[in-house]
Amino acid sequence: MSGKTSLDDLRIDRSGDADRSRSWLWILLLLPVAAIGGLVVWLMKPPGKVVVVSVAQEISLDGGQTVLNASGYVTARTKATVSSKVTAKVLEVLIEEGMRVDKGQVLARLDASNVETSLRLSEAEFRAAKTARNETEALLAEATLRLDRTRALVAEAVVSQAELDAVQAEFGSLEARLGRQREEESVAESRVAVWAQQLADTVIRAPFSGIVTTKDAQPGEMISPVSAGGGFTRTGIGTVVDMDSLEIEVDVNESYINRVRANQKVEAALDAYPDWKIPCHVIAIVPTADRDRATVRVRIGFEALDPRILPDMGVKVAFRDDEPEQMGRSVVVVPREAVRQDGGTDVVFVVTGDRAERRAVRLNVSEGDGAQIVAGLVGGEQVVVQGPSDLADGDAVEVESP
């Protein structure tokens, strides 16, 4: 009995190996099932919305902050399209674009032949009126002497009163004639002055010193102070601009006009030279609003003029706030397209993992292509700059390279 027991003890038990083999078999059978199930779950999972993101940047406002951006144009406070006071044919044009002219300089001459003829006629009439007046003055002097003698003779009873009355009547008539002729002489003199002025008006002069920006007429054309002739008559010789009077005009939405004040510092950038920052200041806020556009016009002056600044150039301006309490603050800058409007609230979507998180933010100002955010976002976070319009909080997203 003990020998049998010893032999049983020495026999190898194979039952455990069979159980382990069966376990591995089940695992091998379940792996494809799990893989297929995972694939089905992955295929049935709704795809994430494709978005493009940008990293929010934190900056310091040590140099002051921009409180408002606007766009406008360079304008000249002193600018004139020089025309004539009379309708006449242009004989000579003495200007070209880009020419500098001084005040009173001759710009053009008009045909003055008819005016000169009328002037000579009026001068002749004036001379005739003056001659007639001189003749009447001589006759009146003679009548004065005759009247004095007749009065003396009447006093001596040499001549009758009737003769004295006749002499007095002649004296009064000559006196009245002289008064009328003096008036006629004055009228003739005024007529000479009128025609002389019209002759002077045929020479067109610069009203102020400046630069000629346009040349609008040529010799042989008709020019008139008003539009006439069905479009064949010019209304100006050219345009003169005082380049020392250049400034910027912008229209500010009336909702933000409280951010603008007189003498406020402004940084301007011409569309033609976007990297050139031009120091400026607010000259005045025009005290009226445009009812249709809900804007208020603001005049901005250059700190220093430059030949590159030309009238009617497009310009973008940034109104700066350099108050001491604003210095040292930090803001987060994101692309302007990252900020959306949702029910009147400024919001951005932040990508966390594979989900979009809606954040309400407080916007300070948009500057160029960026927006300054003072609350609701920190630097380094990824914000959605391009994505579907129906993007909502918690949506799955897939980040795509821009």
CATH number assigned to the domain comprising residue 296: 2.40.30.170
Which pLDDT score, from 0 to 100, does residue 104 have? 93
In a domain, 189, yes or no: yes
Pairing of strands 210-215, 238-241: antiparallel
In a domain, 43, yes or no: no
Q: Closest Cα to residue 65, out of 400, 363, 376, 378?
A: 363
Which pLDDT score, from 0 to 100, does residue 1 have? 47
Q: Could you tell me if 197 and 117 lie in one domain?
A: yes
Confirm if 292 and 238 have CB atoms less than 8 A apart. Answer: no
In a domain, 24, yes or no: no
Confirm if 400 and 387 have CB atoms less than 8 A apart. Answer: no
- Domain with 220 in it: 79-111+203-241
In a domain, 135, yes or no: yes
Compute CA distances 77 → 169, 186, 242, 251, 375, whole Å.
Answer: 67, 42, 8, 16, 42
- Number of neighbours of residue 154 by Cβ within 10 angstroms: 17
Q: What is the mean pLDDT of each run of 10 residues along the chain (402 residues)?
A: 50 53 62 61 57 74 71 94 90 94 95 92 93 90 86 82 86 89 92 93 94 92 74 83 95 90 92 92 94 93 93 93 59 78 79 79 65 76 78 74 61
Sequence letter at residue 284: A
Query: In three state form, how does the secondary structure of 327-382 look?
Result: CCCEEEEEEHHHCEEECCEEEEEEEECCEEEEEECEEEEEECCEEEEEECCCCCCE
Q: Could you tell me if 117 and 195 lie in one domain?
A: yes
Q: Could you tell me if 318 and 359 lie in one domain?
A: no
Compute CA distances 79 → 96, 286, 299, 312, 327, whole Å.
Answer: 16, 19, 16, 12, 41
Q: Could you tell me if 259 and 309 lie in one domain?
A: yes
pTM of the predicted protein model: 0.58
Q: Could you tell me if 91 and 230 lie in one domain?
A: yes
Which pLDDT score, from 0 to 100, does residue 271 have? 93
Which pLDDT score, from 0 to 100, does residue 202 have? 92
Q: How far apart are CA 103 and CA 208, in angstroms?
A: 4
Which pLDDT score, from 0 to 100, does residue 230 have? 53
Q: Closest Cα to residue 176, out of 118, 131, 136?
A: 136
Q: Could you tell me if 156 and 275 lie in one domain?
A: no
Which pLDDT score, from 0 to 100, does residue 3 have? 47
Q: Provide the token pair at 155.
A: 């006093």
In a domain, 1, yes or no: no
Which pLDDT score, from 0 to 100, does residue 342 have? 76
In a domain, 153, yes or no: yes
* Domain total in the chain: 4
Which pLDDT score, from 0 to 100, does residue 354 have? 76
Which pLDDT score, from 0 to 100, does residue 353 have? 77
3-state SS, residue 177 = helix
